[in-house]
């Protein structure tokens, strides 16, 4: 009877709202993907979806929360590349990336853009570099904390350019963007899902993209860093979805099937693609594939981070 009632309980999943934890502040790129995805997930999952922003420490606070949540399918995590950089950066990380989560599937890939406050006196990439060179020691670079996408991109950019900048960490690039627009910080490298609207609206200046190829749409005019002298520069961000370790298999299968359906939603595609994101192909919305990919990303980023001597206690 006990076994029957347990089985029946999972058969009814979901029978209450499902929370997706976003490990960054509201209004930023991870939040944007999560809110758009929640719209598309509602129907296939047949549930109300609540977004909870748990920002701070480059996404590790939100990830910690989900790693310790009840493994019942009602608390999920939507995180980015930070899943694979945190193990090298945080000496006291409260979870094991590969052991403490169930992997549900990858979602998208997103390019990044190098942007500045609107008052920065440069209108093209070459002039921006001249300005950075002339202002060494005084430049503030905004990011979303150690291990965030903006941190990784800034780190790679600074080390390639060989100009040190003062990093200013926020709980997400949503609030960082507000300060950049207001002129409190100078530059930032952030995902197109957060920057395209601000660039198009003239709220910030944009100088380059981080992908090896130029982008389409309104950002097509921006040069790549690769063509601007940084041969091989390539930072592309990805997002994926996770559940706490031990979530029952039938529940994971339901979420994975709903995620697959949501990623085919035409409206979701339209919204994401208009902002430069590329939705992954169906075969990557797969737990084994997702986990293998995160493992390869850990192996790729760990030596870069160690060589840069970055860590947090
Ligand atoms: C990042 O830099 O990691 C992201 O922009 C985080 C966010 O969603 O705010």
According to the model, what pLDDT value does residue 312 have? 83
Q: Which atom of ligand 1 is nearest to the CA of 171?
A: 9
Convert 79-108 to b/e letters by CB count within 10 Å (16 or more is b): bbbbbbbbbbbbeebebebeebbbbbbbbb
ipTM exceeds 0.85, yes or no: yes
Q: Give φ, ψ of 244 to 5 degrees.
A: -60, 145
C-beta of 146 in contact with ligand 1 (< 6 A): no
Mean pLDDT (10-residue bins), the chain, 313 residues: 54 95 98 98 98 96 98 98 95 96 98 98 97 97 95 92 94 98 98 98 98 94 96 95 97 98 96 94 96 96 85 80
Q: How far is the CA of 38 from the centre of ligand 1 (A)?
A: 18
Distance CA 289, CA 44 (A): 22
Q: Closest Cα to atom 5, ligand 1: which residue?
A: 173
Is residue 139 within 8 Å of 167, Cβ to Cβ?
Answer: no
Closest residue (by CA) to atom 7 of ligand 1?
A: 172
Q: Is the pTM of this model over 0.90?
A: yes
Measured from the Cα of 172, ligand 1's closest atom is: 9
pLDDT computed for residue 4 by the predictor? 46
Percent of the chain that is helix, strand, coil (3-state, to 5) = 45, 20, 35
pLDDT at 8: 58
At 3 the pLDDT is: 45
Check residue 10 and give its pLDDT: 82
């Amino acid at each position: 009877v006990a076994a029957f009632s347990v089985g029946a309980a999972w058969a009814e999943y979901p029978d209450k709202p499902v929370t997706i934890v976003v490990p960054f502040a509201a209004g930023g790129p991870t939040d944007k993907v999560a809110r758009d995805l929640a719209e598309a997930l509602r129907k296939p999952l047949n549930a109300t979806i609540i977004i909870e922003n748990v920002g701070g420490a480059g996404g590790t606070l939100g990830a910690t929360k989900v790693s310790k949540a009840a493994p019942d399918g009602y608390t999920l995590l939507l995180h980015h590349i930070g899943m694979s950089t945190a193990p090298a950066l945080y000496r006291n990380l409260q979870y094991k990336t590969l052991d403490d989560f169930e992997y549900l599937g990858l979602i998208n890939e997103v390019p990044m853009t190098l942007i500045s406050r609107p008052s920065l006196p440069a209108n093209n990439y070459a002039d921006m570099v001249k300005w950075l060179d002339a202002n060494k020691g005084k430049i503030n670079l905004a990011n979303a904390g150690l291990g965030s996408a903006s941190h990784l991109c800034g780190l790679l950019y600074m080390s390639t350019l060989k100009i040190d900048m003062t990093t200013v960490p926020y709980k997400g690039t949503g609030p960082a963007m507000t300060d950049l627009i207001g002129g409190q910080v100078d530059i930032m490298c952030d995902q197109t899902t957060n920057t395209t609207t601000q660039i198009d609206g003239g709220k910030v200046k944009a100088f380059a993209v981080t992908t090896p190829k130029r982008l389409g749409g309104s950002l097509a005019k921006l040069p790549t860093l690769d063509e601007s002298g940084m041969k091989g520069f390539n930072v592309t961000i990805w997002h994926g979805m996770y559940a706490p370790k031990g979530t029952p298999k039938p529940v994971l299968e339901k979420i994975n099937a709903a995620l697959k359906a949501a990623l085919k939603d035409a409206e979701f595609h339209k919204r994401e693609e208009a902002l430069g994101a590329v939705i992954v192909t169906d075969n990557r919305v797969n737990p084994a594939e997702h986990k293998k990919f995160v493992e390869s990303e850990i192996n790729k980023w760990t030596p870069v981070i160690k060589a840069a001597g970055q860590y947090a206690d």
